[in-house]
């Protein structure tokens, strides 16, 4: 593997460092997850202040943040951004709702749970679609952006293996020689 930050031929970055576009250097996984988290939190906050529930701004910011994170992350760091959509909703929505002070100070536990739970339930369809889109994009990148080092060489013929019986007999003889090396005349033979 080459060093990070060194471009290959044609202005392309090494496969492990690429984003979705070969000529654009990918960001570290923590930065990609942070991008998705910040855009999601901004969308939740704007919609809760503007409308009082999760609406269009949240949907746009959430989908854009998650898709940008998977498209912009380095190929070798795809796992985090691929699994982030449900985690972002599960964390960002309650945190922003509680930080915005939506439950009244004298509210009971049931009312607080409803105030936090309602936006979570309403965001589920958006979360499901976004998760599907992000997983499809991530799997696409994993399949299309495979390292080229693993490709078979053109001048090498097909690998030849000895028949199974030959491998077994050679393995038996190796084991027998190893056992026989420690055997003395007084030690009984195993059957």
**pLDDT confidence bin for 1, thresholds 50/70/90:** very low
CB proximity list for 10: less than 8 A, separation 6 or greater: none
CB proximity list for 93: less than 8 A, separation 6 or greater: 44, 54, 116, 119, 120, 123
Of 6-20, 54-68, 78-92, 145-159, which gets the smallest average pLDDT? 145-159
- Max CA pair span of the chain: 91
Per the CB < 8 A criterion, the answer to whether 43 and 92 are in contact is no
Question: Which pLDDT tens digit goes with each residue over 122-152?
Answer: 889 999 999 999 999 999 999 988 776 655 5
190 or 93, higher pLDDT: 93
Task: Locate 54 and state its tokens.
Answer: 């999760």
Q: How far apart are the first and last CA of the chain?
A: 50
CB proximity list for 130: less than 8 A, separation 6 or greater: 62, 63, 66, 67, 85
Task: Locate 119 and state its tokens.
Answer: 């936006």
Q: What residues does each domain of the chain span?
A: 9-150
Whether the model clears a pTM of 0.85, i.e. scores above it, the answer is no
């Amino acid at each position: 593997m080459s060093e990070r930050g060194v471009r290959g031929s044609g202005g392309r970055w090494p496969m492990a460092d690429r984003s979705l576009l070969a000529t654009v250097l990918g960001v570290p996984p923590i930065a990609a997850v942070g991008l998705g988290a910040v855009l999601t939190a901004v969308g939740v906050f704007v919609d809760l202040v503007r409308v009082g529930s999760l609406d269009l701004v949240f949907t746009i910011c959430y989908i854009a943040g998650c898709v940008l994170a998977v498209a912009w992350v380095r190929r070798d760091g795809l796992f985090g951004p691929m699994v982030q959509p449900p985690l972002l909703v599960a964390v960002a929505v309650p945190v922003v709702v509680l930080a915005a002070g939506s439950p009244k100070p004298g509210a009971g536990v049931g009312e607080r749970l409803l105030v936090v739970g309602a936006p979570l339930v309403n965001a589920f369809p958006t979360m499901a679609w976004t998760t599907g889109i992000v997983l499809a994009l991530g799997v696409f990148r994993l399949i299309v952006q495979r390292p080229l080092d693993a490709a078979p060489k053109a001048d090498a013929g097909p690998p030849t293996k000895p028949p199974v019986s030959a491998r077994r007999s050679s393995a038996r003889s190796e084991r027998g020689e190893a056992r026989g090396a420690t055997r003395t005349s007084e030690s009984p033979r195993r059957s």
